């Protein structure tokens, strides 16, 4: 560690504190990424092909936003502009991380160890919250869901925390399969139980998708039954009598998501080619759906990242997203890190069908670090 790498370690150190260190609309983690971007631009650091293809997606996001200026003509467009700056910031953050990772194998191991560490610490904070603050009733007036008797941790949302735990689990499982160790086993069990107590069905499905990918690529099919079966048994044994919000087969959240999908598609229908601009969902709500407070946490997103891309960037942006993903995959090395990245990507893809997880700051940063560890010249 030296001053040239300081932003990576600041990012990792701040990460587990999630939303509780937020100051107004400013997230320290985004501020760190912004400073990283400025440093990367100033130093003219070069990146791998994979991040350049991600840059293509950022370019299309910029085009969709410019197009939106002719639709809305309102000062609220600054909200979308801030989201665009953040997306661009994570592009440069990826370049910065890659320049650290490419120097040695030890640096790559250090980064993956650190990712497992922040997943574990995030889960530990979740258990502290579970026993000290079992719900978010006090924060309901500020736009947060109540999340009764669930682990939501410092992110104040069990859905996003569940995916961070899933990523850590997949990293551990890959190591556990390659080389048995009791420390991997115990941390895996801890994270598995923590995932179960988030009561996030999106997290459960994401975990199942990621594990299936690892088992398929590693040809270790006996492990599949143990891992997915273990989570299923824990989930079925969870206490659910305290509140209907933690019932495994609850339907109210599914109905709410379907309504959200319909609303997002309604916005998409207003500008299907270029979209309403990245990320102008709030202003689009005001214009096409009805009054929606800009302070609402549901205002600037959708319950599906893929539908969000469609609504804000249109069909052209969605095609650019698919093209970028395909090019990134072709540019990567086929090694153990590739298996980890692939499993995490499928977990993210499944999770993003139920939440706007692809563009959540912590998820973007976590995944970009994984991508840069896997990327070649």
Domain that holds residue 247: 3-374
Number of domains in the chain: 1
First CA to last CA distance, the chain: 23
Q: Answer yes or no: is pLDDT of 166 > 70.
A: yes
Mean pLDDT of the chain: 86
Q: What is the mean pLDDT of residues 246-274?
A: 81
Burial of 273 (0-12, 13-18, 19+ CB in 10 A): exposed
What is the Rg, in whole angstroms, of the alpha carbon atoms belonging to the chain? 20
Cα–Cα distance for residue pair 368/377, rounded to 1 Å? 16
Q: Picking from 81-90, 130-139, 140-149, which range would have the lowest pLDDT averaged per residue?
A: 140-149
- 235-265 burial, b at 16+ Cβ within 10 Å, e below that, comes to beeeebeeeebbeeeeeebeeebeebbebbe
* Residue carrying structure tokens 């990621």: 210
Query: Cα 112 vs. chain centroid, distance in angstroms?
Result: 16
- Residues whose CB falls within 8 Å of the CB of residue 348, separated by 6 or more in sequence, listed in order: 163, 206, 357, 358, 363, 367
Model confidence over 8-26: pLDDT tens digits?
999 999 999 999 988 777 8
* Predicted pLDDT at 92: 97
Model confidence over 170-197: pLDDT tens digits?
999 888 877 777 788 899 989 999 999 9
* Predicted pLDDT at 153: 92
């Amino acid at each position: 560690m030296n001053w040239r790498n300081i932003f990576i370690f600041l990012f990792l150190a701040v990460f587990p504190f999630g939303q509780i260190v937020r100051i107004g609309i400013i997230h320290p983690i985004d501020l760190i990424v912004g400073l990283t971007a400025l440093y990367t631009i100033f130093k003219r650091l070069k990146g791998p092909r994979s991040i350049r293809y991600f840059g293509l997606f950022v370019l299309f996001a910029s085009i969709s936003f410019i197009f939106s200026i002719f639709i809305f003509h309102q000062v609220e467009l600054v909200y979308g502009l801030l989201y665009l700056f953040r997306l661009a910031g994570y592009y440069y953050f990826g370049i910065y991380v890659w320049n650290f990772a490419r120097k040695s194998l030890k640096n790559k191991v250090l980064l993956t160890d650190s990712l497992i560490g922040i997943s574990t610490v995030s889960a530990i904070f979740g258990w502290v919250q579970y026993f000290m603050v079992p719900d978010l009733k006090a924060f309901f007036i500020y736009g947060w869901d109540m999340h009764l008797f669930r682990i939501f941790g410092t992110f104040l949302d069990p859905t996003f925390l569940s995916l961070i735990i899933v990523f850590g689990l997949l990293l551990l499982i890959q190591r556990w399969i390659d080389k048995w160790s009791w420390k991997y086993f115990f941390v895996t069990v801890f994270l598995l139980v923590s995932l179960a107590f988030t009561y996030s069905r999106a997290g459960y499905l994401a975990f199942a998708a990621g594990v299936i990918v690892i088992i398929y690529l590693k040809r270790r099919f006996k492990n599949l039954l143990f891992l997915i079966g273990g989570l299923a048994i824990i989930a079925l044994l969870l206490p659910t009598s305290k509140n209907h919000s933690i019932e495994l087969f609850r339907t109210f959240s599914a109905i709410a998501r379907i309504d959200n999908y319909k609303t997002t598609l309604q916005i998409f229908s207003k500008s299907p080619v270029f979209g309403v601009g990245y990320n102008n969902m709030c202003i689009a709500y005001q214009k096409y759906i009805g009054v929606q407070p800009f302070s609402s946490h549901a205002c600037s997103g959708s319950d599906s990242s893929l539908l969000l891309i469609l609504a804000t960037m249109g069909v052209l942006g969605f095609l650019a997203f698919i093209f970028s993903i395909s090019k990134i995959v072709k540019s990567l090395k086929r090694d153990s890190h590739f298996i980890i990245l692939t499993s995490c990507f499928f977990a993210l893809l499944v999770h993003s069908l139920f939440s706007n997880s692809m563009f959540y700051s912590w998820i973007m940063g976590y995944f970009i670090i994984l991508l840069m560890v896997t990327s070649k010249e």
